[in-house]
Amino acid sequence: MLVIGYRIEPAIATSMLRNLPLEPLVMLGRALVLVCLFEYRDTTIGPYNEIGVGIYVRRRGTAPSLWRVLRDSRKIEDVGLYVVNLPVSAHAALTAGVEIWGYPKYVAGIATSFQQDKIRVTLESEFVLTYSRGFGFEINGPPFITFTLLKNRLLRTIVEVGHRVRFGGARCIRLSINGAGPTAATAKALGLDAVRPTFAFRTDAMKAVLPAGKDLGASAS
């Protein structure tokens, strides 16, 4: 797994949320966007690859404490990562993700190469991302907490993890958009090909459990 964080203008992030009851969680004047790249080698539905693009958000009209969010975002029900795109390389992953959680998945060719000192991920006909290992430090991996829409209901899912991650290498990341597609369009609209990442972390021993999401009510704003 490789996770990359970008800080962008809040207005740009807001434009991606449309009429959802969500707005960017602004930290130090910027919104946070995550690009997550996965090479799943052993899952209940077999191996497959996945790429996620999400915006860290809060429910509209709320004012969660940033200190509490940073301390333990699990307990702050009003915050999470709104998943904008989630291409996968296997049809089984598409069906489960869409029908149970409402993840915005579509099937695409995703080629991954995770090596000790570098990573290369290609999303077929959309973009190529490369990463080179830099100096960094290790911590326990943070959970993935996502917002999705399922039948016009807002779901919040806490994906607990059991691995450590190594920060570093953000300055060595290159994103080249070389085609058209849903995820490439999102990356372009957010300006990710023109802004330097703020941080990056990786693990070669990802462990995660994807539970059922919690229904937070109708998504109408």
The predicted pLDDT at position 64 comes to 87
Cα-to-chain-centroid distance, residue 90: 18
The predicted pLDDT at position 72 comes to 87
Largest separation between any pair of C-alpha atoms in the chain: 45
The predicted pLDDT at position 65 comes to 85
CATH 2.40.30.60 corresponds to the domain 2-216: no
Q: Please give the Cα distance from 173 to 133 (Å, whole number).
A: 9
Show the low-confidence residues of the chain (pLDDT under 50). none
Q: Please give the Cα distance from 78 to 96 (Å, whole number).
A: 25
Give residue limits of the domains in the chain. Answer: 2-216
The predicted pLDDT at position 220 comes to 65
The predicted pLDDT at position 1 comes to 97
Q: Measured at the alpha carbon of residue 214, what is the angle toward residues 12 and 108, in degrees to the nearest 5?
A: 55
The predicted pLDDT at position 139 comes to 94
Statement: the pTM of the whole predicted model exceeds 0.85? yes
The predicted pLDDT at position 56 comes to 97
Cα-to-chain-centroid distance, residue 98: 16
Closest CA to 21 of 147, 199, 129, 117: 147
List pLDDT tens digits, range 86-109: 999 999 889 888 989 999 999 999
The predicted pLDDT at position 13 comes to 96
Q: φ and ψ at 186, to 5 degrees?
A: -65, -45
Q: φ and ψ at 138, to 5 degrees?
A: -110, 145
The predicted pLDDT at position 174 comes to 95
Helix and strand element counts for the chain (H, E)? 4, 17
Q: Please give the Cα distance from 146 to 79 (Å, whole number).
A: 9
